[in-house]
Amino acid sequence: MTQPSPDSARITFIGLGVMGYPMARHLADSGHAVTVYNRTAQRAQNWLAEMANTTTQIHSADTLKAAAHDADFVLLCVGNDDDVRAVTLGECGVLASMPAGSLLIDHTTASQQLALEIGKACHEKGVGFLDAPVSGGQAGAENGVLTVMVGGSEEDFSRAEPIMACYAKKSARLGGIGSGQLTKMVNQICIAGVLQGLAEGVHFAQAAGLDVDQVVEVISQGAAQSWQMQNRAQSMAQDQFDFGFAVDWMRKDLDIVLRTGRELDTQLPMTALIDQFYADVQNMGGGRWDTSSLLRRLTQHQ
């Protein structure tokens, strides 16, 4: 089958949450014909209304099968493993109508096992598949500067790369199917450790009577520098925790990390400890606070 040109692709986007909503917008703004589907239909209607002045074809579909039936690329960005299965498999999922030769790209942060399961189902239908979780949060999606970690064949990645460039500053293939999800697990391990260290550093600076902004301005020029320090230290010091990636989502991700770590017989003591710290934050009512809210655990007893 002749592969479609990414310059004139028909794209279906499933899942218009805080990430998918702007990602779909970037695709339409880049000149692609975009069909959207969201479980809450009003969200899709809001997206269409916002995009009313676009010069490309945009549509909303009432069902998953209708959304995917003539797509060159179907992109997913939903909540978890069960959500991915619900929108892809079975008589009502997108795979029931995706044409042979099309490509399914899953941007959900999910398990490696799920990626292998969906990849097998796609292969049986003659559909390509990439597991492609993203990093960069809501701000990265809004600004089109996400990082995409991809597992799948080189051929499928080459086809998808121009599409992903519409909303990503970097996409990289890390290996076969499942490699993208494994790499995202590494990403979450590292973020958790950095945020706990930053929370303790800010807490220490406050207790010592230092000017946190001044401290961060100095140490961010040296070896302690990180994205989290640059973007979250000031808001943490001001006790503000409404900046995108929620504690509930991080706990979902860390659960995947820890389960996979046990399967690999891998030692992850810091990650397991910080996962429990995030459980404490949830118990404080902070499930929707952003992940830098680890500081709240340290200050609540003052």
Catalytically active residues are: 184
Largest separation between any pair of C-alpha atoms in the chain: 67
Separation CA 256–CA 144 (nearest Å): 26
- Residue 8, amino acid: S
DSSP for the chain reads -PPPPGGG-EEEEE--STTHHHHHHHHHHTT-EEEEE-SSHHHHHHHHHHTTT-SS-EEE-SSHHHHHTT-SEEEE--SSHHHHHHHHSSTTSGGGTPPTT-EEEE-S---HHHHHHHHHHHHHHT-EEEE--EESHHHHHHHT-EEEEEES-HHHHHHHHHHHTTTEEEEEEEESTTHHHHHHHHHHHHHHHHHHHHHHHHHHHHHTT--HHHHHHHHTTTTT--HHHHHHHHHHHTT---SSSBHHHHHHHHHHHHHHHHHTT---HHHHHHHHHHHHHHHTT-TTSBGGGHHHHHHTT-
Separation CA 157–CA 6 (nearest Å): 12
Question: Which neighbouring-strand residues pair with 37?
Answer: 14
Separation CA 112–CA 96 (nearest Å): 22
